[in-house]
Structures are given as structure tokens and as C-alpha cells.
């Protein structure tokens, strides 16, 4: 039986480079804009583009839970709407609510698929910083590690979009 393993770094915010610290602060600020009246679990995401600009997103719940939008997908939607010329370097995800002294938050499966899709069309890895409110961080250098055996365009008869196609 084969085992699957991938590299990651378990650290704290203050040990990361200043641009990543700023990205995590931005994600934390985005949690304040979350709309979570049902779960009271607020999530913020910040996407760092190669030109240094940052796009923010927060979760928005709906009484029909599946109709809600996750923070990561909200931030990446801003990318889709406004700036397809700069590649995504990293995404940071933070939260408030629930067990705020718990482990760093990880993107859900749909968000993992969405991040991976962006990584595939830009043909460049996206680093993912998963954080908790206490400053604990798990970092992976390639979003593909979050979704091993992923479903992608290679399963479809339509070719994958390229960065200029979106």
C-alpha cells in the first residue's frame, strides 16, 4: 500500500515574512465583513497577487446553508471579475468563532477545488496559509497538496482554460 505525504510548515505568524504577515492581517480584517448570523463562524480570506495587490473575501451564510459563499471563493471571484492579468501567489484563510483556540482552518473541499482550478490555469503554484486566531499557521507551498487525486479538466472532453481565456 502506498502512502501519501506532502511538505508543510507549522509555524506562527510572527515567524513569517512581512508580506505574508500583512496578508494574514488582511484576511483577519476580512472576517469582520463576514455575514454569519446562523453559525457565528466568520471566515476571511486574502489573496496575494504577483503585483503585490491583495483581494479580500469573507463568508456569507444563507438560511439555506448550501447557498452560502465561502471566503476563499468570494476572494477568488473578485480575481475573476477584476484582474486576470496577475497570477495568484498565495491565499491566507482565518476565522473567528467556534473554538478560537483550535487548529488552523483549512479550506473546504469546494474551495480546494476552486483554488486548484486557478492554480492549474495560471500554471503556477499557490501557497496556502491556514491560520487560527492565536497566530498559529500551517503553510503549504502548492495548493495541489490539499486535493490529492483531484478532478480536473483532463477528465473532460473540453480543454482546460488558460489564463488568457478567463
CA angle 30, 86, 109 (to 5 degrees): 55
> What is the grid cell recorded at 56?
479580500
Contact present, 93 and 82 (Cβ < 8 Å): no
**CA–CA separation, 66 vs 19, rounded Å?**
34
Contact present, 150 and 144 (Cβ < 8 Å): yes
Write out the E strands in 17-86. 42-49, 54-58
141 is an active site residue? no
Catalytic pick among 29, 50, 61, 72? 72
Residues noted as catalytic: 72
Amino acid at each position: 500500500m502506498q502512502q501519501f505525504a506532502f511538505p508543510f510548515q507549522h509555524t506562527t505568524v510572527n515567524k513569517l515574512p512581512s508580506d505574508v504577515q500583512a496578508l494574514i492581517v488582511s484576511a483577519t480584517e476580512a472576517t469582520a465583513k463576514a455575514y454569519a448570523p446562523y453559525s457565528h463562524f466568520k471566515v476571511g480570506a486574502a489573496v496575494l497577487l504577483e503585483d503585490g495587490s491583495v483581494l479580500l473575501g469573507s463568508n456569507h451564510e444563507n438560511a439555506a446553508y448550501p447557498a452560502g459563499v465561502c471566503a476563499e471563493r468570494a476572494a477568488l471571484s473578485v480575481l475573476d471579475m477584476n484582474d486576470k492579468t496577475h497570477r495568484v501567489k498565495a491565499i491566507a484563510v482565518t476565522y473567528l468563532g467556534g473554538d478560537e483556540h483550535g487548529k488552523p482552518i483549512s479550506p473546504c473541499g469546494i474551495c480546494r477545488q476552486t483554488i486548484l482550478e486557478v492554480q492549474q490555469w495560471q500554471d503556477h503554484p499557490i501557497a496556502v496559509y491556514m491560520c487560527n486566531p492565536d497566530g498559529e499557521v500551517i503553510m503549504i507551498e502548492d495548493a495541489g497538496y490539499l486535493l490529492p487525486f483531484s478532478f480536473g479538466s483532463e477528465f473532460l472532453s473540453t480543454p482546460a482554460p488558460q489564463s488568457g481565456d478567463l
